[in-house]
Amino acid sequence: MKTVEEVKNYWSRNPLFSLEVKNPGSPDFFNAIDEIKKRDVESFAMNYWDFKGFNGKKVLDAGCGPGWLTVSYAVEKAEVYSVDLTKAAVELTRKFLDHKKAFAYVEEGSVEKLKFENNFFDLVVSSGVIHHTPDLGKGFRECFRVLKPGGVAKITLYHKGILHNKFVFPVIRFAMKMINFNRPGANLPSAKDADDFIRQYDGLNNPVGIGMNASSWSDELKKAGFVIENFELHFFPKRFIPFGQLIPVWFHYLLDRYFGTMIYFNLRKPNN
């Protein structure tokens, strides 16, 4: 099993988006992230995040990365607390907040050991984070612990779907080689199997990246105590596809809805 320290070292060297967007920490960097999120990978998930629905509420961004979710809730006047394993991410998030003239409490910390009291937050969000933790159960249990009874959690995780089927994936891998599909910092067409392909989503040397189907993730979340309200698929990054900018909105919607690389869970902590 990989260690938390290995995960921390990797993300310290490779903050999210730094393999793709130049000049991390600059206004252009944050503007590019905002554009990518709103026009590509989160374009059909804005209602899911419900940024305006938590005005005045306590929100935890567990694993904030460069801070897009933190900023998005903070500008809508939520009381946001953000943690990330790396100093690099904390510094980027603080700069992003300054860039947007917003405020949040941001500090270093592990999702596997949160420094907050029980039943503190109205909302816990964790976007593409816990599938990078060596101990999934700890991450889920900690998010559950700090959430108020009746509170909401929005947790997104790598989806292992039909495209990762052992019979389908070799065809997908061959097609990627033919169209020269890849993403910065990775070598997706070289993936030895579907699990290795998923691990490489965030870079060739990413130490931990776990994908499961909705049923398996649901089992893990239920073990932590969560009630699953619903889930949906999103996150189909068309920008990495040759001529992806030519894909019409309606077709991107279908790709996102049925072949999204992430499962977006709406969760709740029981009142009793």
* For residues 5-32, average pLDDT: 96
pLDDT band at 1 (very low <50, low <70, confident <90, very high): confident
The mean-pLDDT minimum among 150-159, 219-228, 233-242, 261-270 falls in 233-242
Q: Which pLDDT belongs to residue 177?
A: 87
Instruction: With beta carbons less than 8 A apart as the criterion, state whether 224 and 31 touch.
Output: no
Q: Which pLDDT belongs to residue 243?
A: 84
Q: Can you tell me which residue has the tokens 């990413």?
A: 206
Q: Which pLDDT belongs to residue 183?
A: 83
| pLDDT single digits (tens) 27-72 | 999 999 999 999 999 999 999 999 999 999 999 999 999 999 999 9
Dmax (CA) of the chain? 54
Planar angle of CA 259, 265, 271, nearest 5 degrees: 165
Tell me the CA end-to-end span of the chain in Å, nearest whole number: 35
Percent of the chain exceeding pLDDT 70 equals 100
CATH architecture of residue range(s) 4-161+206-268: 3-Layer(aba) Sandwich (3.40)
pLDDT band at 267 (very low <50, low <70, confident <90, very high): very high
What are the tokens at 55? 């005005």
SS3 199: helix
pLDDT band at 220 (very low <50, low <70, confident <90, very high): very high
* For residues 94-120, average pLDDT: 98
What residue type is assigned to position 227 of the chain? V
Q: Can you tell me which residue has the tokens 């009142």?
A: 271
Instruction: Count CB neighbours of 159 within 10 A.
Output: 25
| pLDDT single digits (tens) 176-187 | 888 877 788 899
**Domain map of the chain by residue range?**
4-161+206-268
| pLDDT single digits (tens) 180-210 | 777 888 999 899 999 999 999 999 999 999 9
Strands laid side by side in the 105-108 sheet:
105-108, 79-84, 58-62, 121-127, 147-158, 262-268, 227-234
Q: Give the chain's mean pLDDT.
A: 96
The mean-pLDDT minimum among 79-88, 130-139, 175-184 falls in 175-184
In whole angstroms, what is the distance from residue 267 CA to residue 227 CA?
A: 6
Task: Return the higher-pLDDT residue of 172 and 129.
Answer: 129
By DSSP bridging, strand 79-84 and strand 58-62 are parallel
Q: Which pLDDT belongs to residue 272?
A: 76
Question: What is the secondary structure of 87-139 as a DSSP string?
Answer: HHHHHHHHHHHHHHT---EEEE-BTTB--S-TT-EEEEEEES-GGGSS-HHHH
- Alpha helices by DSSP H, listed for 147-193, are 169-179
Classify residue 9 by burial, with Cβ atoms within 10 Å: 0-12, 13-18, 19+.
middle
